[in-house]
């Protein structure tokens, strides 16, 4: 019994201890908030770019090449004005004489005797041209038919030219015993069918008839009273090629505009000031017609801020006969004239060209449907220049920065410059609607360098909340959604020294940040 | 005797300097006379019941979950402004931190006791999971990657998981006229899932304008369900993944009655292996590194560049179908002795060690045991491990005819003081037990003067 008591006592003691411990457990309160402030270092940007990269980024259609160690930007359009041979030469519509078909006495007798007769005929119409040779590619053949046989008829026609079948035509009529006259009209397009008309032996348009007449109402035919009349015409024909003495034709282009404010298309390059030392500009001509062509620039005007400035150019260019396989080409160099134009920073340049096709009226010419003449231009800008006011803007997104939780941030900029430019950097905090909230950094970060001797610089920007003040100096971060980097570039000596830019020369730019940020996690039930 | 004392002294001096991951079941040893599942710890233990049965559901479970770096007190500590005392939590972190979870669910335990032997058939589902992470990983999150933390090595960032079933048949019997018992259990093992990432070997180095993430190389090995889950083209035939791995295990044990009061015992368990055949997949990363230098603002956004950098690391990890491989069980040893203080009380000393990666991971326990026949059995002990007494184990079995209730823990401190506890260890279950072999023996002794032996059916 005593042992049992002791056991009970021990059990009670254990229960009391356990109860005490677990009552502590029920009083436990988990923290309502977890808060800590790690110091983090993060590389944000590591980028290197050449001028060519920037040009590609701005407009991928800009072409460039390296020439004698200098980057040359090329802008060209070889068909500022373009006309095909069909704009100057065409085929007129052609109406052929009427073709009557009458029956012979024997055929009439056979009809009257047997009640039916079938006749076959062939007729020829000459296709004549002043040219040596004409190749017709497509067109319409119109056919008008009228007959007055007092019988039922079945007519089949086949029309061909130069052994090329153009139409198969069929017409049936029934005689009603009262009115013997019927008419028909048919228009057929022929396409992808080429036939040649040669002037030395006129090409014949061949019409093959097959006519079957059947007696109706027991009516006999009378000699020479009944015919089938056919009228043929060619309309809307296009040539494939013309050979011979083609006429002289005048060329007059509309005024064409060349935009020269392309740098303004790159964001924030509006303030750019430049001087190109050796710009090259030429008007290019191409002739693939089999006639000589004379070109003459009749208008070369540049516009700046609405003002027109005409440049007088008295230079005509004659191109010899060309062909599709071997067009004749030439160009008119206007380097000196254009240097003054481009360095005046025009908004646009207009160009108009007149000309004459076959100015000397040579006898043996040709054109094809694909022959044409083109007038274009080629602008080459070697980057041998002075430059200032070139501002390159880029930005990157930063989200969810709670300024109340940021204790400090140190931004570290590192740059290396191989370009002959002085570069200053501005970093700006932007709001969602791109409003400038605060300038984080503004200083010259690079001086002009070279491929052999890049200029290296390192800069720091520290932003921190001053615990001594009541306001939070980093409040602007709350509204910051992007950080804009504005790189301002000028050639050496404040844009007064002519420098050469290589396509290999680049700017290396890196931005890293070290910051302390307070993270908090709300662990309360609410 | 002096040699024994000197040996004991050496063990006691060395033990505090050893660190280990032992997950012993000392209390099971202490209750072995009435706890049928103690036979799993030493097949030479012969329970006092003639017939024992543990059925699914009733048989309960043995669960051990532990970690070595925090407790409720640390997790609920607050600063003056009611924010979490994160520095207190951080300070208590170890260089290598670990979370371990072991669960042993007895599906079936059927045992027959004869006068001199015990035969048992057992089916257990066992799972072992461990994740370990270095303090450096928390350094990165808590302190960041600047200053001293600009060079962080995430050594020992690892994960291991092993789940299998064991179907065991054991037999133990008295020899040498009852002075000694020996026993063995042979186990047929069915592996279900295996994952082993021994170390990602990661390091993170922050430079002035770049961050480099490196690995010295690692291999992640998966098999069974884990391997199936990693397959890109799983065909839904999951049952193969669950049942196709096979293996064998062996437990050996012995006890020796040195004198009427002193008994020595020992066992070595979980000798064996599982051969994983299907759905084996390795993820092999060579020694490699990626460097993030920031976005090239002409080409990519910051996020794109970061994704690209991490993807390039991910792309270097090669997925390959692995050939058949075997994994050893974590063998463990129990050695000890008991001293019979009185008819119902005895003291035990138990040495335990795991054979973990070729090294011994020891623990030492002293234990008191009180047994009132087969009706009530109680044990309590203290375990010395990792250089300090950090575990108090206790438990009891109580026979409520015909059920036997068992509640035990190897970590009483965590139960009585959960605020400071770092582990949860509990065994709970209900066994069906019939017959008391000691009563039979006592009756046998009483009847020994008679000429006719009686047979005790053992039903209380």
pLDDT tens digits, residue range A97-106? Answer: 888 889 999 9
Q: What is the DSSP string of A208-231?
A: EEEEEEEE-TTPPP-TTS-EEEEE
Instruction: Give tens-digit pLDDT for B381-429.
Output: 988 876 667 678 889 999 887 788 888 887 777 777 777 777 788 888 8
Q: Return phi, psi of residue A113, to 5°.
A: -80, -45
* Residues of chain B in Cβ contact (below 8 Å) with chain A: 72, 75-78, 82-86, 140-147, 150, 206, 208-211, 292-298, 301-302, 415-419
- pLDDT of A66: 86
Q: How far apart are CA B193 and CA B241, in angstroms?
A: 8
Token couple for A487: 């790189």
| A517 touches B144 (CB < 8 A) | no
Find the Cα–Cα–Cα–Cα dihedral B62, B68, B69, B74, rounded to 10°.
50
Highest mean pLDDT out of A55-69, A294-308, B166-180: B166-180
Q: How far apart are CA A185 and CA A183, in angstroms?
A: 7
Q: How far apart are CA A349 and CA A307, in angstroms?
A: 11
Q: Which of B83, B138, B213 should we substitute to test contact with A (largest number of A Cβ atoms within 10 Å)?
A: B83
Q: Which of B86, B140, B297 sits opposite A47 (nearest CB)?
A: B297
Q: What is the DSSP string of B116-132?
A: SEEEEEEEEEEEEEEEE
Instruction: Among 3.30.70, 1.20.120, 2.60.120, 2.60.40, name the CATH number for the domain at A94-244.
Output: 2.60.120
- pLDDT of A9: 55
- pLDDT of B20: 36
Highest mean pLDDT out of A264-273, A453-462, B447-456: A453-462
- pLDDT of B441: 60
List the beta bridge partners of residue A239: A136
Greater model confidence, B110 or A347: B110
pLDDT exceeding 70 applies to what percent of chain B?
Answer: 85
- A63-87+259-382 and A94-244: identical CATH topology: yes
| B331 touches B23 (CB < 8 A) | no
| A256 touches A81 (CB < 8 A) | yes
| A410 touches A434 (CB < 8 A) | no
Residue B198 CB neighbours (<10 A):
15
- pLDDT of B5: 39
Q: How far apart are CA B134 and CA A42, in angstroms?
A: 22
Q: Return phi, psi of residue A220, to 5°.
A: -90, 160
| B326 touches B272 (CB < 8 A) | no
Instruction: Give tens-digit pLDDT for A138-164.
Output: 889 898 999 999 999 999 999 888 778
Provide CATH code, domain A63-87+259-382. Answer: 2.60.120
Q: Where are the alpha helices (DSSP H) in B44-182?
A: 72-76, 86-91, 135-142
Helix (H) or strand (E) holding B238: helix B238-243
Q: How far apart are CA A165 and CA A205, in angstroms?
A: 10
Q: Which of B83, B141, B211 sits opposite A31 (nearest CB)?
A: B83
| A135 touches A195 (CB < 8 A) | yes
Q: What is the mean pLDDT of residues A168-195?
A: 85
Q: Which residues of B touch A33 (CB under 8 A)?
A: 82-84
Greater model confidence, B350 or A179: B350
Find the Cα–Cα–Cα–Cα dihedral B64, B66, B72, B78, rounded to 10°.
-160
Distance of residue A300 Cα from the nearest chain B Cα, in angstroms = 38
Q: Which of A35, A36, A41 sits opposite B206 (nearest CB)?
A: A41
Q: What is the DSSP letter of B16?
A: G
The domain limits of chain A are 35-60+388-522, 63-87+259-382, 94-244
Q: How far apart are CA B416 and CA A39, in angstroms?
A: 40
Q: What is the DSSP letter of B287?
A: S
Asked whether the predicted pLDDT for residue B250 surpasses 90, the reply is yes
Find the Cα–Cα–Cα–Cα dihedral B103, B108, B109, B112, rounded to 10°.
-170
Burial, B318: exposed, middle or buried (Cβ in 10 Å; 0-12, 13-18, 19+)?
exposed
Q: How far apart are CA A104 and CA B443, in angstroms?
A: 153
Q: Which of A400, A406, A397, A396 is nearest to A475 (CA)?
A: A406
Q: CB–CB of A396 and B419 under 8 A?
A: no
Q: Return phi, psi of residue B230, to 5°.
A: -80, -10
Which superfamily does B2-449 belong to? monomeric porin ompg (2.40.160.40)
Q: CB–CB of B295 and A22 under 8 A?
A: no
Q: How far apart are CA A226 and CA A84, in angstroms?
A: 50
Q: CB–CB of A41 and B419 under 8 A?
A: no
pLDDT exceeding 70 applies to what percent of chain A?
Answer: 89
Q: Under DSSP, is residue B146 helix (H, G, I), strand (E, B) or coil? A: coil
Q: How far apart are CA A351 and CA A253, in angstroms?
A: 9
Q: Which residues of B touch A24 (CB under 8 A)?
A: 419
Greater model confidence, A511 or A193: A511
Cα–Cα–Cα angle for B17, B19, B24, rounded to 5 degrees: 120
Cis bond upstream, residue B25 (ω within 30): no
Q: What is the mean pLDDT of residues B321-332?
A: 86
Number of H helices, E strands in chain A: 7, 35
**Fold category of A35-60+388-522 in CATH:** Jelly Rolls (2.60.120)
Sign of the torsion formed by the C-alpha atoms of B281, B284, B290 and B296? negative
Rg (CA), chain B: 26
Burial, A452: exposed, middle or buried (Cβ in 10 Å; 0-12, 13-18, 19+)?
exposed
Q: Return phi, psi of residue B73, to 5°.
A: -60, -45
- pLDDT of B143: 92
Q: Which residue has the tokens 């709300």?
A: A522
Q: Which of B145, B296, B419 sits opposite A47 (nearest CB)?
A: B296
Asked whether the predicted pLDDT for residue A11 surpasses 80, the reply is no
- pLDDT of B3: 41
Q: Return phi, psi of residue A345, to 5°.
A: 50, 65
Q: How far apart are CA A425 and CA A23, in angstroms?
A: 65
Q: What is the mean pLDDT of residues A478-497?
A: 85
Burial, A469: exposed, middle or buried (Cβ in 10 Å; 0-12, 13-18, 19+)?
exposed
Q: What is the mean pLDDT of residues B214-230?
A: 85
Name the residue of chain B whose CA is nearest to A57's CA.
Answer: B298
Q: Which of A199, A207, A124, A121 is nearest to A165 (CA)?
A: A207
What's the first-to-final CA gap in chain B, in angstroms?
45
Instruction: Give tens-digit pLDDT for B48-66.
Output: 888 989 888 777 788 888 8
Q: What is the mean pLDDT of residues A383-391?
A: 87
Instruction: Give tens-digit pLDDT for B259-299.
Output: 999 999 999 999 999 999 878 888 999 999 999 988 887 77
* Residues of chain A in Cβ contact (below 8 Å) with chain B: 17-18, 21-22, 24-25, 28-36, 38-49, 53-54, 57, 394, 396-397, 412, 414, 485, 510-512, 514, 516, 520, 523
The region of weakest confidence among A244-248, B107-111, B237-241, B316-320 is: B237-241
pLDDT band at B454 (very low <50, low <70, confident <90, very high): very low
Q: Which residues of B touch A516 (CB under 8 A)?
A: 144
Q: How far apart are CA A119 and CA A210, in angstroms?
A: 6
Q: Which of A11, A24, A31, A485 should we substitute to test contact with B (largest number of B Cβ atoms within 10 Å)?
A: A31
Asked whether the predicted pLDDT for residue A214 surpasses 90, the reply is yes
Q: Which of A419, A502, A518 is nearest to A67 (CA)?
A: A502
Q: How far apart are CA A357 and CA B165, in angstroms?
A: 99
Query: How far is CA A284 from its chain centroid?
Result: 20
List the beta bridge partners of residue A426: A442, A486
Helix (H) or strand (E) holding B305: helix B302-316
Q: What is the mean pLDDT of residues B71-88?
A: 82
Q: Which residues of A touch B417 (CB under 8 A)?
A: 21
- pLDDT of A382: 93
Q: What is the mean pLDDT of residues B23-27?
A: 76
- pLDDT of A359: 92
| B37 touches B60 (CB < 8 A) | no
| B285 touches B213 (CB < 8 A) | no
Q: How far apart are CA B357 and CA B343, in angstroms?
A: 42
What residues contact residue B169 under an 8 Å CB cut-off, 6+ apart? B119, B120, B121, B122, B185, B186
Q: Which of A208, A227, A204, A209 is nearest to A96 (CA)?
A: A204
């Amino acid at each position: 019994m005593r042992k049992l008591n002791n056991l009970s006592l021990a059990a009670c003691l254990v229960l009391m201890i356990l109860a005490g411990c677990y009552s502590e457990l029920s009083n436990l309160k988990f923290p309502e908030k977890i808060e800590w402030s790690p110091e983090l270092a993060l590389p944000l940007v590591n980028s290197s770019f050449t001028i060519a990269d920037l040009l590609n980024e701005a407009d991928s259609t800009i072409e460039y090449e390296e020439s004698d160690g200098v980057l040359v930007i090329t802008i060209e359009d070889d068909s500022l004005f373009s006309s095909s041979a069909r704009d100057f030469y065409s085929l007129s519509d052609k109406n052929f004489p009427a073709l009557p078909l009458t029956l012979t006495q024997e055929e009439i007798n056979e009809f009257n005797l047997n009640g039916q007769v079938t006749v076959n005929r062939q007729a020829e119409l000459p296709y004549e041209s002043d040219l040596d040779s004409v190749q017709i590619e497509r067109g319409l053949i119109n056919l008008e038919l009228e007959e007055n046989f007092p019988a039922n008829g079945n007519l089949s026609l086949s029309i061909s030219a130069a052994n090329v079948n153009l139409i198969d035509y069929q017409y049936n009529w029934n005689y009603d015993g009262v009115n013997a006259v019927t008419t028909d009209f048919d228009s057929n397009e022929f396409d992808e069918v080429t036939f040649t008309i040669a002037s030395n032996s006129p090409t014949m348009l061949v019409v093959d008839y097959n006519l079957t007449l059947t007696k109706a109402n027991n009516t006999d035919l009378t000699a020479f009273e009944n015919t089938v009349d056919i009228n043929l015409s060619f309309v809307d024909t296009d040539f494939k090629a013309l050979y011979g003495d083609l006429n002289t034709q005048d060329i007059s282009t509309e005024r064409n505009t060349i935009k020269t404010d392309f740098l303004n298309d790159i964001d924030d390059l509006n303030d750019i000031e430049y001087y190109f030392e050796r710009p090259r500009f030429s008007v290019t001509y191409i002739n693939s017609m089999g006639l000589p062509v004379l070109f003459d620039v009749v208008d070369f005007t540049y516009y700046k801020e609405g003002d027109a400035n005409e440049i007088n150019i008295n230079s005509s260019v004659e191109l010899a006969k060309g062909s599709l396989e071997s067009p004749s080409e030439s160009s008119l160099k206007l380097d000196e004239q254009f240097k003054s134009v481009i360095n005046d920073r025009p908004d646009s340049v207009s160009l108009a060209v007149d000309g004459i096709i076959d100015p000397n009226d040579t006898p043996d010419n040709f054109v094809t449907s694909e022959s044409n003449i083109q007038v274009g231009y080629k602008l080459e800008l070697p980057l041998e220049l002075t430059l200032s006011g070139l501002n390159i803007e880029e930005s990157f997104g930063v989200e969810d920065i709670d300024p109340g939780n940021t204790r400090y941030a140190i931004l570290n900029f590192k740059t290396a410059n191989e370009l002959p430019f002085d570069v200053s950097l501005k970093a700006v905090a932007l709001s969602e609607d791109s409003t400038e909230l605060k300038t984080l950094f503004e200083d010259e970060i690079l001086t002009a360098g070279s491929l052999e001797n890049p200029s290296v610089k390192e800069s720091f920007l520290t932003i921190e909340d001053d615990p001594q003040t009541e306001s939070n100096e980093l409040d602007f971060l709350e509204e910051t959604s992007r950080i804009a980097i504005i790189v301002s570039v000028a050639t050496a000596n404040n844009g007064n020294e002519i420098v050469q830019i290589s396509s290999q020369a680049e700017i290396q730019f890196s931005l890293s940040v070290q910051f302390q940020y307070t993270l908090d996690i709300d662990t309360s039930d609410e | 005797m002096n040699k024994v004392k000197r040996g004991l002294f050496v063990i006691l001096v060395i033990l505090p300097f050893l660190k280990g991951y032992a997950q012993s079941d000392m209390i099971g040893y202490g209750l072995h006379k009435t706890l049928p599942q103690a036979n799993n710890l030493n097949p030479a233990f012969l329970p006092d019941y003639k017939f024992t049965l543990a059925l699914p559901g009733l048989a309960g479970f043995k669960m051990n979950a532990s970690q070595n770096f925090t407790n409720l007190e640390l997790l609920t500590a607050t600063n003056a402004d009611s924010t979490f005392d994160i520095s207190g939590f951080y300070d208590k972190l170890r260089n290598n931190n670990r979370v371990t979870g072991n669960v042993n669910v007895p599906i079936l335990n059927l045992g027959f006791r004869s006068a001199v032997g015990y035969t048992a058939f057992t089916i257990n589902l066992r799972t072992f999971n461990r994740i370990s992470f270095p303090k450096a990983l928390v350094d990165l999150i808590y302190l960041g990657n600047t200053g001293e933390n600009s060079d962080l090595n995430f050594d020992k960032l690892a994960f291991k998981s092993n789940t299998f079933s064991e179907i065991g048949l054991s037999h133990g019997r008295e020899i040498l006229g009852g002075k000694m018992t020996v026993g063995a259990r042979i186990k047929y093992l069915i592996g279900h899932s295996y994952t082993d990432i021994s170390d990602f070997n990661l390091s993170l180095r922050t430079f002035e304008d770049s961050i480099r993430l490196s690995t010295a190389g690692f291999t992640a090995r998966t098999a069974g369900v884990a391997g199936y889950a990693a397959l890109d083209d799983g065909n839904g035939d999951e049952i193969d993944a669950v049942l196709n791995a096979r293996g064998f295990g062996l437990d050996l044990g012995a006890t020796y009655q040195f004198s009427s009061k002193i008994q020595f015992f020992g066992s070595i368990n979980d000798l064996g292996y599982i051969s994983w055949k299907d759905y084996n997949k390795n993820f092999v990363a060579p020694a490699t590194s990626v460097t993030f230098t920031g976005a090239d603002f002409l080409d990519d956004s910051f996020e794109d560049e970061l994704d690209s950098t991490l993807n390039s690391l991910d792309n270097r990890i090669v997925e390959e179908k692995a050939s058949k491989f075997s994994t050893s069980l974590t063998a463990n040893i129990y050695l000890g002795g008991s001293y019979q203080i009185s008819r119902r009380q005895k003291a035990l000393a138990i040495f335990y060690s795991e054979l973990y990666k070729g090294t011994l991971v020891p623990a030492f326990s002293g234990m008191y045991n009180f047994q009132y026949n087969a009706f009530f059995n109680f044990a309590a002990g203290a375990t010395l491990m990792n250089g300090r007494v950090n575990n108090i184990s206790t438990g009891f079995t109580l026979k409520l005819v015909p059920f036997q209730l068992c509640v035990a823990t190897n970590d009483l401190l965590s139960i009585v003081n959960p605020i400071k506890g770092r582990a949860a260890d509990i065994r709970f279950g209900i066994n069906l037990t019939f017959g008391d072999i000691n009563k039979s023996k006592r009756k046998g002794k009483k009847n020994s003067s008679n000429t006719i032996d009686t047979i005790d059916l053992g039903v209380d």
